[in-house]
Structure 1
């Protein structure tokens, strides 16, 4: 039996038209999209398929959109008896991973990420915080620079350890700008502003985590059926209480994606399968391990290729 790890993308992977070929090809996908509309009380489907892009990019919309797209594709595999050996998600993608592990119901997951988005928006209104990807400089230098800028009064933290040579910083607009300049001076090859509406995974999200903690208490989080590699620790978790604690911390802690992939490789995974829009995580996995086997399930045709590989001896 082949050992596969399912990976689920996070914010920034959204785009207008996402999931359209799955929506048109499968009735089950169409039904799930319309179920999401009913749960949320507005047409997320229309926003995903038709835009406008600035509305889709808002945290409270992008988060449920990405989750819905990933879960719809995952369900197509599940319906054919295809199950992962382990799962992980990048930031918001952790909720799709928890659904795939049987820890969260669809109804709870989509409502949680919608509320999570609203709390994040409330903690730092759009335009006040931002993020940037820093390329080609050691993590120790980034740690030093972010600490220095924060101590001078403009908050900026490391948000994502994405892959060797790519680390994301997050904070106030001024903090990220100042840190970006200093990092260029200290040898960063490039610093790229990200298409996000807030300073995710920074200490500025602590107020959001307090609100969100109360929401999580209302939800039935079950023991995960397969190991879920948590963003905060990069370690496998299955206990429901541990999952709840880590989801609160995840809002203001860095995403340990590089270490997650390394730990999954140590668990002797045969292939990584990115399920959802875009191919961001597939690119990051390649940078962690050049020869890793990767499938990117972002269109119907790719689904068939993965199923064929699974059947091979």
Structure 2
């Protein structure tokens, strides 16, 4: 297992019905949903399994729901022998990674991410912020476009997610993001589209949310990580609890350096990523970052069972 890292997706991976098969088949998953529900203050299992979808789309409910599914996947596989060397998570997913690494208790993480979602939603009035995905451009080109838009006085727009080669998300004030989309198209972007999100995450407009989150995190116990967690902000492994606390605050209004995080894990000897949670977003990113990097999804009971007991032997055989 020395070459394996567990990774946790962020917002956007959710769907109504996620985690239901885990709940039905694995006692470890049922325990996770019960614990997360008690801590977050709502029935996480019901929201994940039944919706309604419009509530699941709300950031303050979506974040605890995704955390619960990811941690449920982790606990099921950990109980069956998965021993990763490192962990990481994209944005919200970093909290799942910290639970897996023993830094945070699930109950504390669930309480924090519900407030995190609330603070992020309230940082910018509805309709004033936006995010857009720019595909097919180099990072330097996107960074230049953002600078040009801001220098022209259109407002704030900044890189928010460095997902994989040729896929960067920008965030900021709506008019500035729209201007960046137009400039990206003119620069030859394969695609440049506004995203259906409720706030401009991971840019300087989130600074009020970061300040509020700092107050919450100051009251939460953090422990040294059992395995290194690669931080979104620095793309570097970290184990010190106080440094992790600082980086979680910074993460709210700084870009997520996912491509750089994956490459850092590779330099540490990681050859396989196991994605804990719904969908295959991070698995897809991994293949674009390095086609030789093995990446497998473990977000459903079927996928987990295929890892635990494949006919030909495999990850946990």
1:74–1:100 CA contact under 8 A, matched in 2: yes
1:2–1:310 CA contact under 8 A, matched in 2: no
- Give the match for residue 46 of structure 2: 46
RMSD, matched Cα: 1.4
Distance 2:144 2:282 in 1: 27
Distance 1:279 1:213 in 2: 31
1:193-272 aligned at under 5 Å gives the runs 193-272=194-273
Given the superposition, is the C-alpha separation of residues 238 and 220 from structure 1 closer, same or farther in structure 2, using an over 3 Å criterion? Answer: same
Post-superposition CA distance 1:173-212 (Å, at most 9, x none): 2221111011101111101322321101010000110111
Given the superposition, is the C-alpha separation of residues 181 and 65 from structure 1 closer, same or farther in structure 2, using an over 3 Å criterion? Answer: same
- Give the match for residue 161 of structure 1: 162
- State the shift of 1:241 in Å: 1.1
- State the shift of 1:2 in Å: 4.4
**Partner secondary structure for residue 167 of structure 1:** strand
Q: State how many pairs are aligned.
A: 312
2:173–2:200 CA contact under 8 A, matched in 1: yes
Distance 1:48 1:173 in 2: 30
* Pair 1:33-2:33 in alignment: yes
- Give the match for residue 6 of structure 1: 6
- Give the match for residue 306 of structure 2: 305
Deviates further, 94-103 or 19-28: 19-28
**Partner secondary structure for residue 71 of structure 2:** helix
**Partner secondary structure for residue 310 of structure 1:** coil
- State the shift of 1:311 in Å: 4.2
- State the shift of 1:249 in Å: 0.6
Distance 1:40 1:164 in 2: 36
Deviates further, 169-178 or 87-96: 169-178
* Pair 1:127-2:138 in alignment: no
TM-score (norm. length: structure 1): 0.96
Distance 1:135 1:190 in 2: 5
1:48–1:65 CA contact under 8 A, matched in 2: yes
Distance 2:35 2:95 in 1: 18
Distance 1:182 1:293 in 2: 35
**Partner secondary structure for residue 226 of structure 1:** coil
- State the shift of 1:277 in Å: 0.6
- State the shift of 1:150 in Å: 2.5
Moved over 4 A (4+): none
Distance 1:310 1:188 in 2: 38
Deviates further, 145-154 or 158-167: 145-154
Distance 1:292 1:211 in 2: 38
Given the superposition, is the C-alpha separation of residues 72 and 125 from structure 1 closer, same or farther in structure 2, using an over 3 Å criterion? Answer: farther
Q: Tell me, which stretches of 5 or more residues in structure 1 are unaligned?
A: none
